[in-house]
Amino acid sequence: MTLISKIRKVQQALSPYKPLVWVEVSKSAIIHNYKVFKNLAEPAGLAPVIKSNAYGHGLTNIAALLEPELPSFFAIDSLREALLLRGAGIKTKVLVMGFVNIENINNYKLKDVSIAITGLDQLREIASLLKHTQTFQIKLDTGLHRQGLLRNELPTAFKIIDMNPKIQIEGAFSHLADADSEDSVHAKKQIEEWNSGLAELEAHFGKLTYTHLAATAGSHYSGINANTLRLGIGLYGIDDPAEGSTLGLKPALELKTFITSLRDLQPGEFVGYNITFKAERLTKVATLPLGYNEGVDRRASNNGFVKIRDYLCPIIGRVSMNMISVDVTDVPEVAIEEIATVISGKSKDPNSVVNTASLLGTIQREVLVRIPAHLRRTMVK
């Protein structure tokens, strides 16, 4: 039995199970955000970035939703993600942007899957051991200095590639280090380096099918020679940078659960590990069946919020592995099994992705991708 078959069998077995915690993803919000950037990018194509479980939204769900929109390709991080997409019946072209070793390249010959050349050592290994024809995109290091070929390495790379006809180059890309800044000197230098490097690549290989530098944050920079925009965080409704954008994006994700227990704390009583919360009044406490195993950051202890109906309820005490306690004293006629929204899809709510990230002193991407893949994703209107 293949890995994909095993995954499908497990999914089928779990389908009748009613989860305690689940993720709702708005289809209309995703499509709205996609079309915002499609209009912004034209005439360039759009490549949705769906790596890391589509930023927590569900890899195959998002791919299936966007496939009818005819994106240029899906950008992912690993060959494993490519296998999951093909196993789910997704046929759209895929670019694996992360490092892939030669063993995995040789073991899987997948249709319309391109692989990034991320360094000279990897390229040498590929040229030496590649067993079948494979399409690649060259990553240029224009100043982020994590991966990619430097400009002075291109002549060597050209010789290696020219000697192996199995290596088919169809594109090139790079990544901006400081695109969040509105007028970054570093970003402008990277754009110049990219434009020069791309000219060198196309002088050698001819016109490339896919060329891309900017992601969501870099979409406002002009003067980039490229025919594709990679759409990451913006696809999911988060402006990048978050402050001051007028794009009208719609956050697509909500994390939900329900109340499993209610109890009253008398003044002076405590709740949770390390007795970090002491009731100052008669306090009604609701227990919710999720914790840091389900994506609630421990830094939200005595700090974060959930919403029950339209009432904002503070998280009190320590966030545990699988439980949190919230103060529901001010929620009239609160009841067991009432739904609680832990991450809100309304941008202005204190428990939205943007405001949760600010509260925790981190970035929106971390809040999203820390939502575990094992939680069920439900696509809603």
Structure confidence at residue 219 (pLDDT): 85
Tens digits of residue pLDDT in 26-38: 999 999 999 999 9
Structure confidence at residue 45 (pLDDT): 97
203, pLDDT greater than 60: yes
Structure confidence at residue 245 (pLDDT): 65
User: Are the C-beta atoms of 177 and 187 separated by less than 8 Å?
Assistant: yes
23, pLDDT greater than 60: yes
Structure confidence at residue 295 (pLDDT): 97
* pLDDT tier for residue 15 given thresholds of 50, 70 and 90: confident
Residues whose CB is less than 8 angstroms from the CB of residue 268 and which lie 6 or more positions away in sequence, other chains included: 278, 279
| Average pLDDT of the chain, as a whole number | 95
User: Are the C-beta atoms of 265 and 273 separated by less than 8 Å?
Assistant: no
312, pLDDT greater than 80: yes
Round to whole Å and give the CA distance between 317 and 169: 55
Average pLDDT score over residue span 367-380: 97
* pLDDT tier for residue 242 given thresholds of 50, 70 and 90: low
Residues whose CB is less than 8 angstroms from the CB of residue 267 and which lie 6 or more positions away in sequence, other chains included: 279, 280, 281, 282
User: Are the C-beta atoms of 194 and 139 separated by less than 8 Å?
Assistant: no
Round to whole Å and give the CA distance between 327 and 331: 9
Q: Of the ranges 177-186, 311-320, 372-381, which one carries the lowest mean pLDDT score?
A: 177-186
* pLDDT tier for residue 17 given thresholds of 50, 70 and 90: confident
* pLDDT tier for residue 182 given thresholds of 50, 70 and 90: confident
Structure confidence at residue 138 (pLDDT): 98
Please state whether the peptide bond connecting residue 372 to the residue before it is cis, i.e. omega within 30 degrees of 0: no
Q: Which domains does the chain have, with CATH numbers?
A: 27-236 (3.20.20.10), 253-344 (2.40.37.10)
Round to whole Å and give the CA distance between 112 and 134: 9
13, pLDDT greater than 80: no
CA distances to 5, 191, 226, 257, 304 from 20, rounded to whole Å, are 26, 47, 45, 6, 20
8, pLDDT greater than 80: no
Give the bridge partners for 330, in sequence order. none
Q: Give counts: helices (H), strands (E), the chain.
A: 11, 19
3-state secondary structure of 131: coil
CA distances to 56, 71, 236, 345 from 232, rounded to whole Å, are 12, 13, 8, 17
Average pLDDT score over residue span 296-314: 97
Place of tokens 């390495």: 153
Round to whole Å and give the CA distance between 87 and 253: 24
Structure confidence at residue 1 (pLDDT): 65
Structure confidence at residue 156 (pLDDT): 98
Residues whose CB is less than 8 angstroms from the CB of residue 299 and which lie 6 or more positions away in sequence, other chains included: 359, 360, 361
Tens digits of residue pLDDT in 83-141: 999 999 999 999 999 999 999 999 999 999 999 999 999 999 999 999 999 999 999 99
CA distances to 17, 34, 316, 328, 352 from 346, rounded to whole Å, are 28, 18, 22, 21, 6
Round to whole Å and give the CA distance between 133 and 169: 11
5, pLDDT greater than 70: no
* pLDDT tier for residue 217 given thresholds of 50, 70 and 90: confident
